Amino acid sequence: MIFRNIRTKLFIVFLAISVIPVVIVTLSSYSSYTSLVNNQISLVSSNTISNSIEKIDNIYQNIDRITLTFQQFSTQAGSTTVADQLNQLIQKQDVDMYDLFLARNNMLFFFNNLILSNSYLNGIYIFLPDGNSISYGMGTDLRVDYKPFEDEWYQKTLQRNGGLYVSDADIKPFIINAKPSITFSRALYDTNTRKLLGVLMLDCGLDIFNGLDRDIVPNMTNMYIVNGKGKILYDNLKNQIGSQLPDSLLQMIHSSPNETLEDLQNGVLTVVKPFPDNDWRIVASISINELYKQYGVSEKLIIYISSVCAAIFILLSVFLSGLITKPIIELSRIMRKNKSQHLVTTKKQLERQDEIGILYTEYNNMIRDIDDYIKESYQNKLITLDSQMKALEAQINSHFLYNTLESINSIAEIEEVESIAIMTKALGDMFRYSIKTESELVALEEEMNHVTNFLTIQKIRYEDKLQFRYEIDEGLARMRILKLILQPIIENAIYHGLERSSKKGLITIKGYESSGNILFEITDNGIGMSPDQLEDIQSALREPPVFNELGQRNKRSIGLKNVHSRIALYYGEEYGLTLDSQSEVGTTIRICVPKLI
């Protein structure tokens, strides 16, 4: 019932603010405007590129016309043509530098007019069939003794049989003072005999493409002119000339080499158009997102109006929802304060008769019930743990007392010596240490003194049959550990490992720090344990500590299990004892406790 009422109130609020109609109108208007802008952008882009193609094609046609009719132009003398001048040089047996100078001088007026009327021309070069050349350049010239016969451009020019060959946009190594340029070359033939007169080359600077980007939108369009191999002849940023077109654009060109393509991906409109008279293509990539910023006034207006309406509705929603949900938010804040053992109740909203008042009342009842349960459970657990710890210590102390008194009795019957006094004093120190109740934690050196008193008694009892060796790191003396965890392990090693062994016994006690913990290793060379015995003890150690009432003790040996249980209860289950043993070799017991100062 509560959920239904709150849901009804929220539904009325959202219905009042009319979010759904506003969203529908906004999306519809935005979609229509976006479609219109896309169509206009595509049309403008296509027209811009078409204009650029037309400009380039005019330049190409002009160069094609110049190279095609080159040999028909009159020289400075006015009575001969370029073809006549070249025929004279070819027919002469030995052409020297003076002959080439005269020929160049005769054509100088024509060369000047050609370069002055076409500002992008860097130089005009004619290569005769015998390897000699006539050159005219604006600050450039051919390298001395340059022979073009082996060059790719020369061979491909001849293969075209009078057709126009266009080079890549790069620096020509055979031209002095060369800069990146494009060369147009054509083989010249005698119109009557079809005899090769030479090869004409026009070296054109990259300013041949100046003005192509005049109509494109700056900072939004990347325009490339590429040849049939995908080599970039020109780009409007002038930083990729001579390099290869990106693979994604190359794939578009190769997929439809003779068609106009348009592709819109990731907000970029790419248009590819071929040139009509050669294998060049113009590629333009236009950022639609950037164009939206320029042409998106109406789009911004739509967004602004929608944003204002949305802001008004959001404020209204916040006010109404806050009015409804404020009591619930207050209750959640109170609930977040319930940390540790401090449970908080509240007196707010209790006077209300609706669902909110019922929620607050039930919350207070729940907190009081939880508080009572925690106190009862916590106290019972403390009592149980305290009883279990005391019972475990009592088991260990009584077990040791029995064995020690047996030792004293045996010696008293055999001899009347000072050793009895020594054992009695050591036993007294041990009892005082065992019943000390200031703290469960003691310094390691105190625990080792307790072990020394125990070993003193055992040394007198077993004489030379038993030896002990200490390997305790010096820095551990002041570390605090749980008391009465080492002596029961050593006692277990003597009575179960060495007492029935025929060889001389040795117990080694090691103590060292590892990974923030303190590790003890008690190793004996006694009779060891069989795999079954070892598995039984390990299984007992894996069992969780259980408190048994008085009179309900089991008959299992309690030394190892009790020490392990005390450590697990005090420090946590990740600490305690582990065993390694081999029959007739010996046993190693490891104790792991945390490092405490």
Of 18-22, 85-89, 136-140, the least confident: 18-22
552 — pLDDT class (breaks 50, 70, 90): very low
Instruction: Tell me the β-bridge partners of 283.
Output: 224, 272
Supply the pLDDT for residue 276: 65
∠ CA 409-470-425, nearest 5°, is: 30
Select from 421, 523, 418, 503 the least CA-distant residue to 462: 503
pLDDT per position as a tens digit, 23-78: 777 777 777 777 776 677 667 667 777 777 778 778 888 888 888 888 777 766 55
Judged against a pLDDT cut of 90, whether residue 519 lies above it is answered with: yes
Three-state DSSP state, 106: helix
Over pLDDT 90: what percentage of the chain? Answer: 15
Higher pLDDT, 434 or 396: 434
Supply the pLDDT for residue 195: 87
Mean pLDDT, residues 554-567 taken together: 72
Mean pLDDT, residues 397-420 taken together: 63
Supply the pLDDT for residue 444: 93
Q: How many CB atoms lie within 10 A of CB 351?
A: 8
Strands 175-176 and 141-142: antiparallel
Judged against a pLDDT cut of 60, whether residue 238 lies above it is answered with: yes
Mean pLDDT, residues 127-142 taken together: 87
Higher pLDDT, 321 or 474: 474
Q: Cα Rg for the chain, rounded, in angstroms?
A: 52
Identify whether the C-beta of residue 306 lies closer than 8 Å to the C-beta of residue 333. no
Q: Would you state the structure tokens that stand for residue 156, as one six-digit string?
A: 């491909």
Higher pLDDT, 562 or 12: 562
Of 50-59, 267-276, 524-533, the least confident: 267-276
Mean pLDDT, residues 155-184 taken together: 88
Supply the pLDDT for residue 591: 95
pLDDT per position as a tens digit, 171-211: 888 899 888 888 999 999 888 888 888 999 999 888 887 77
Identify whether the C-beta of residue 6 lies closer than 8 Å to the C-beta of residue 324. yes
5 — pLDDT class (breaks 50, 70, 90): low
Supply the pLDDT for residue 392: 54
- Distant-in-sequence, close-in-space partners of 324: CB < 8 Å, separation ≥ 6: 6, 9, 10, 13
Supply the pLDDT for residue 579: 93
13 — pLDDT class (breaks 50, 70, 90): low
How buried is residue 343: exposed, middle or buried, by Cβ count under 10 Å (0-12/13-18/19+)? Answer: middle
Q: What is the DSSP letter of 73?
A: S
Of 99-108, 130-139, 243-252, 560-569, the least confident: 243-252
131 — alpha (psi -120 to 50), left (phi > 0) or beta?
left
Supply the pLDDT for residue 587: 94
How buried is residue 264: exposed, middle or buried, by Cβ count under 10 Å (0-12/13-18/19+)? Answer: middle
Which run of H or E residues covers position 492?
helix 487-493
Q: How far apart are CA 204 and CA 118, in angstroms?
A: 9
The single residue listed with the structure tokens 């625990």 is 447
- DSSP secondary structure, 196-246, as one string: EEEEEEEEEEGGGGTTGGGSSPTTTEEEEEE-TT-BEEEETTSSSTTSBPP
pTM to 2 decimal places: 0.44
* Domains of the chain, each with CATH number or no CATH: 69-209 (3.30.450.20), 210-295 (3.30.450.20), 382-594 (3.30.565.10)
Evaluated on CA atoms 17, 21, 25, 28, the torsion sign reads positive
CA of 581: how far to CAs of 131, 282, 493, in Å? 98, 85, 11
The single residue listed with the structure tokens 């001048």 is 85
Higher pLDDT, 416 or 197: 197
**For all residues of the chain together, what is the average pLDDT?**
78
